[in-house]
Amino acid sequence: MTEQTNRVRNIGISAHIDSGKTTLTERILYYTQRIHTMHDVKGKDGVGATMDSMELEKERGITIASAATYCQWKGHTINIIDTPGHVDFTIEVERALRVLDGAILVLCAVGGVQSQSITVNQQMKRYNVPNIAFVNKCDRSGANPFRVIRQLKEKLGRNAVAMQIPIGLEASFEGVVDLVFMKALYFDGANGEDVRTESIPERLVSEAATYREHLLDTASMFSDALTEAILEERPIEEDLLLDAVRSGTLSRGLTPVFMGSAYKNKGVQPLLDAVTRLLPSPNDVTNMAFDMDKEETPVPLACDDNQPLVALAFKLEDGKYGQLTYLRVYQGKLAKGDTLHNARTGNKVKIGRVVRMHADQMEDIESIPAGYIGALFGIDCASGDTFVSPRVRLSMSSMYVPNPVISLAISPKDHKSEINMSKALGRFAKEDPTFKIFVDPETKETIISGMGELHLEIYIERMRREYHAEVEAGMPQVAYRETITQRADFDYIHKKQTGGAGQYGRVVGYLEPIVEGDFIFENQVRGGAIPTQYIPACEKGFLNCIQKGPWMEFPVTGVRVVLTDGASHAVDSSDMAFQAAARSAFRQAYLKAKPVIHEPVMKVVVETPAEYQGPVMGSLTQRRGMIVGSQDEGFQSVIESQVPLAEMFGYSTVLRSLTQGKAQFTMEFSTYKPVPSAISQKLVEKAAEDRKHVA
Amino acid sequence: MVREELSRHNPLRVLGRETQAVLSNGAFGAITARAGVGKTSFLIQVALGYLVEGIDVLHVSLKDPVDKVSLWYTEVFRNMTEHWGRKQAADYWETLLPHRFIMTYRAEGFSTDTLAERLTDLSEQGVFTPRVLVIDGFRFDGSIRDTLLALRALAEIRSLSAWFTVRIHRHDPPRPDGMPAPLADVSELFEVIIQLQPLGSEVHVIPMKGGPDPLQMPQMMLDPSTLMVKHRE
């Protein structure tokens, strides 16, 4: 089994948007004869690429969900997960890289290192995933793979080295020169399926020699044997060089760079050779679990079918046949009929159907051996759950889930939509940990949060298509507050003595503003003017007014209420009477205390390349933001500011377009501050309008 | 009244002049001391003196991140207003903040060109146009004359004056004229030099250049527990 596992590769294909990941995967599946016809991502035939099975993906020409498949190449089994490039769907990349052993970082020969390339690079680093780079689109106008290699070094800090050089570029891109074998490769046949090996064209011999020298120099850092051979000026054997490159790749000290054009069917087969030759098998990667009986001591896992099972659920899909759970088996074998434990919940699960995925199609199998990826039906669990054999007390770390950056308030258009919306939201939130829902206790709105406008747009569209739930989306309401700015006295008698049981209570005192805290109640009544048993009722009455301010009906903060005097009636005074007196007294004094509206102000921290610092700062000040300062970190700047929440709606989209997607921001609550008078006026007018409509 | 009260805390009073008259455009001031004596605190009190006057200050730190610098200001302001009501202090603080901008750099990443670019960004976007620069953590070891000259030129073009903290080392004695070693070769570039000198349990504020005769001025010290300036009793 170890020998078999040595010939397995679990790889992800990740990159910035539109770099060609899905097209590359389509070519890989074609050349490995997994599929027999190629289709374009957004082709005229309307079929779409194999890995984009969702209708929305085909229509928009983007990958929304990651898709798994497998193929065979030269005696190796390659399990591939094709991932989306939009940051909105970043969770798909997180989960893929969490469970894969290696990856291909695809870069556009024209665009080079772009914003999501940077994010994907960080994700690969997070999970220590060895990877190779593929500079795609060498047939496009402006293509320059050597510029991309420079960017890999400068922007991503990679030790990138060319494994090939192009034969022609742009419209004259014909093939590549392999710097290991020192041969030219051309891709013939209707779909580039026939790889022809020739001598290096005369005009490229010198250039090839130069780049090969550089390759040897770089690779020799990872092999003493290669260094010796170079120093002794012996001919370098290909395997020696490839072993050195592999060693560098596995340690993540080296990024071998390949070139081609997936769309023009060039350069894919050598890339497949590189996957099998340079990227790790499950045996080459040490995966760790935590021993829950020994204070989470790390324990290495063995890629061995005979060991107790340890598997990680990394993706869930709710379909018509129930929940499909994608799993990576790290140790042991998961077979139909087995009984497993969910390490998080402690629940026992019996394994029914076991399948292997090919995009949206599945193939029933008997078991998933160690080092492989498969899926199960009918298991209730969450993404990141560890499944183990009974009596095994190991757990694996889950994937990193970034915090959402944008929120929308949604409301169903009708009752039927409300029920379906609920079902849809529950399913989406379960499948996608970056999609969050909650009901705001103050505004009662349903708020959905995600990684970007596209993210939320896709879910709203899916709600409509898959659940027939029509919803309206809008900006969430801002949680304003009211507070007073000066002291105001009150002296109120609540009296109802018109016969029968009456009510009587008099409260005297004042309201004043405080800096910290929402509400303080102080009893300074002396001599029993208000009997002690009624004081809590007074406090309750005042508290009732705090929840919905008498002016704008926002929650009131920063108020001290001091009770100094009062009066009671022997018969008619009661808790209810004093509560009512307190409420009315509060309202009486409140407007005299010159209330103002406060708005939440957020601490907004933007990380941006230094070249965009000016426009980013401008975008924040335009939003009534106050820049606290900026931190210069070489190519990156970090700008810290305080911005009202009301102005932050849609900022992620603005920031992306301002910085070509290269900047990111985080936002957390900082404090409440008074709103400017112009905005206060608008809010007052709106509140008056709303009351009129209600009336 | 508030302004007058806070102005009493202005450490530049040791120089016997109003804040704005201390350094003209393009002029430099230096606050020198050994490590841990109170240069940053003194610098921030100088900066707050300007803020109280409504003068925009750009605080450049080559050693601390934005949060830490911000915290310094909060602490020093709190010490200055300890007898105020909290709301009054909080409200007044809000009026000062828009006049301050903090920029931090790694010391090796700082250059006059970078600073000039950032200043242009700030003014072009209408974000901030400083009149005073305070630079904390600038390294005065090695050959810095060219950098200082470039900074002076930048300050003149931008109508800025600048204050620096200058760290002096125990093992590097002052020159015969008393000038601290790091400033010995560049002292003519500084119109004002103030030294913070620990003597026993006190820290004396001594104008070395650009101030009046120390014997004719009430002496100023730093309270060693708060590093706030006070007049010697």
Cβ-contact A504, A570 below 8 angstroms: no
pLDDT band of residue B63 (cuts 50, 70, 90) is confident
Whole-number Å distance between alpha carbons of A642 and A627: 6
Is the model's pLDDT at B174 over the cut of 90?
no
Report the C-alpha dihedral over residues A370, A371, A376, A381, rounded to 10 degrees: 100
pLDDT band of residue A43 (cuts 50, 70, 90) is low
**What are the CA-CA distances from residue A369 to residues A8, A121, A305, A331 (Å)?**
11, 29, 6, 8
pLDDT band of residue A222 (cuts 50, 70, 90) is very high
pLDDT band of residue A320 (cuts 50, 70, 90) is low
**Minimal Cβ distance to A614: which of B65, B69, B124:** B124
Strand partners, A450: A406
Is the model's pLDDT at A178 over the cut of 90?
yes
Q: Which among A33, A19, A117 is positioned nearest to A78, based on CA atoms?
A: A33
Q: Which among B31, B28, B59, B64 is positioned nearest to B165, based on CA atoms?
A: B31
Is the model's pLDDT at A53 over the cut of 70?
no
Q: Which among A42, A17, A37, A18 is positioned nearest to A27, based on CA atoms?
A: A37
The pLDDT of residue A1: 38
Which position has the token pair 């007058």? Answer: B4
* Residue A556: DSSP 8-state: B
Cβ-contact A643, B77 below 8 angstroms: no
Reduce the DSSP state of residue B140 to 3 states and report it: coil
Segment A86-137, tens digit of pLDDT: 767 888 888 888 889 999 999 999 888 876 787 788 888 888 899 999 999 9
The pLDDT of residue B161: 93
Contact B127 A615 (CB under 8 A): no
Residue A285: how many CA atoms within 13 Å on its side-chain side? Answer: 29
Segment A546-581, tens digit of pLDDT: 988 889 888 899 999 999 999 999 888 999 999 999
Provide mean pLDDT across the span B157-170: 92
pLDDT band of residue A57 (cuts 50, 70, 90) is confident
Provide mean pLDDT across the span A405-414: 85
Cβ-contact A560, A485 below 8 angstroms: no
Which position has the token pair 């810290």? Answer: A640
The pLDDT of residue B62: 92
Secondary structure percentages of chain A, helix, strand, coil, to 5:
35, 30, 35
- A183-188 and A297-300: which strand pairing? unpaired
**What residue type is assigned to position A432 of the chain?**
D
Q: How far is the alpha carbon of A633 from chain B, nearest alpha carbon, in Å?
A: 7
Contact B102 A626 (CB under 8 A): no
Cβ-contact A551, A591 below 8 angstroms: yes
The pLDDT of residue B16: 65
Cβ-contact B122, B128 below 8 angstroms: yes
Percent of chain A with pLDDT over 70: 95
Whole-number Å distance between alpha carbons of A382 and A204: 54
From the CA atom positions of chain B, what is the Rg in Å?
17
- Mean pLDDT for all residues in chain B: 85
Residue in B59, B78, B118, B127 to test binding to A, most A beta-carbons within 10 Å: B127
Q: Which among A410, A458, A415 is positioned nearest to A434, based on CA atoms?
A: A458
Whole-number Å distance between alpha carbons of B194 and B41: 14
Whole-number Å distance between alpha carbons of B191 and B175: 18
Handedness of CA A378, A379, A382, A385 (dihedral sign): negative
Residue B230: how many CA atoms within 13 Å on its side-chain side? Answer: 13
The pLDDT of residue B21: 64
- B161-167 and B132-136: which strand pairing? parallel
Whole-number Å distance between alpha carbons of A343 and A57: 35
The pLDDT of residue B232: 61
Which residue has better confidence, A513 or A476?
A513
Print the domain residue range for B109: 2-231
Provide mean pLDDT across the span A54-79: 78
Q: What are phi and psi of A234, to 5 degrees?
A: -85, 155
Give all domains of chain A, ordered by start, each with its CATH number: 2-284 (3.40.50.300), 288-395 (2.40.30.10), 406-474 (3.30.70.870), 482-594 (3.30.230.10), 599-678 (3.30.70.240)
- A481-483 and A386-388: which strand pairing? unpaired
Whole-number Å distance between alpha carbons of A64 and A54: 8
Whole-number Å distance between alpha carbons of A357 and A66: 12
Contact B125 A618 (CB under 8 A): yes
A607 touches chain B (CB under 8 A): no
**Minimal Cβ distance to A629: which of B103, B114, B124:** B103
Cβ-contact A165, A177 below 8 angstroms: yes
Segment B86-120, tens digit of pLDDT: 778 888 999 999 999 999 988 777 889 889 988 99
For residue B178, count other CB atoms closer than 10 A to its CB: 10
Whole-number Å distance between alpha carbons of A92 and A152: 23
Which of A349-363, A381-395, A577-591 shows the lowest mean pLDDT across its residues?
A349-363
From the CA atom positions of chain A, what is the Rg in Å?
33
**Minimal Cβ distance to A621: which of B90, B97, B127:** B127
Contact B126 A618 (CB under 8 A): yes
- Going by C-beta distance under 8 Å and a sequence separation of 6 or more, which residues neighbour residue B147? B111, B112
* Residue A522: DSSP 8-state: E
Provide mean pLDDT across the span A238-263: 96
Segment A617-641, tens digit of pLDDT: 999 999 999 999 998 876 778 899 9
Strand partners, A92: none
In this structure, what CATH number is given to the domain that contains residue B218? Answer: 3.40.50.300
Is the model's pLDDT at A406 over the cut of 60?
yes
CB-CB neighbors (< 8 A) of B105 in chain A: 631-632
List, in sequence order, the alpha helices (H) in B112-188. Answer: 112-124, 145-157
Cβ-contact A11, A28 below 8 angstroms: no
> B164: which 2 tokens?
């620096």
Whole-number Å distance between alpha carbons of A64 and A360: 13
Structural domain count of chain B: 1
Indicate the pTM of the whole model. 0.64
A640 touches chain B (CB under 8 A): yes
Q: Which among A240, A247, A179, A183 is positioned nearest to A213, based on CA atoms?
A: A179
- Mean pLDDT for all residues in chain A: 88
Segment A654-674, tens digit of pLDDT: 998 899 888 888 777 788 889
Which residue has better confidence, A44 or A353?
A353
The pLDDT of residue A36: 81
ipTM over 0.95: no
> A204: which 2 tokens?
């490229």
Chain A nearest-CA residue for B102: A629
Which position has the token pair 């300036």? Answer: B229
Provide mean pLDDT across the span A350-374: 86
* Residue A516: DSSP 8-state: S
**Minimal Cβ distance to A613: which of B102, B109, B121:** B121
